[in-house]
Amino acid sequence: DAGVTQSPTHLIKTRGQQVTLRCSPKSGHDTVSWYQQALGQGPQFIFQYYEEEERQRGNFPDRFSGHQFPNYSSELNVNALLLGDSALYLCASSFSGQGASNQPQHFGDGTRLSIL
């Protein structure tokens, strides 16, 4: 039973470029959340996708966008990259069915994005 998988594991980009990060949720999960984690900080919520729609969004600019596919996998796109976008990007999957509020989110290993 595969857990949450993310690709790529590491990525180096320059300012102004665009990046796409990918996530496959844990089997049986239908909801994907994306987080940005700076060094020494807790994860910051970017947005959450359910039924191919953005269900919730954190305090991130429109440069951050996403998508969820029919197989529940998801992409995070960041345009016009800034130096401050350098961080670990974590994908977490969960189940949104009945009784789901107490179900933990399961995290992938993350993509470490470095902006030069």
Residues in touch with other proteins (CB under 8 A) = 4, 33, 35, 40-45, 48, 56, 58, 90, 101-102, 104-110
Q: How far is the CB of 68 from other proteins (least distance, A)?
A: 17
- Name the E strands within 18-103: 19-24, 31-37, 44-50, 53-57, 64-68, 74-78, 87-94
Q: Which is nearer to other proteins, 47 or 72 (CB)?
A: 47
Q: How far is the CB of 18 from other proteins (least distance, A)?
A: 25
Q: How far is the CB of 14 from other proteins (least distance, A)?
A: 24
Find out whether 92 and 33 touch, Cβ atoms under 8 Å: yes
Q: Which is nearer to other proteins, 35 or 64 (CB)?
A: 35
Find out whether 13 and 20 touch, Cβ atoms under 8 Å: no
Structure tokens, 61: 């600019």
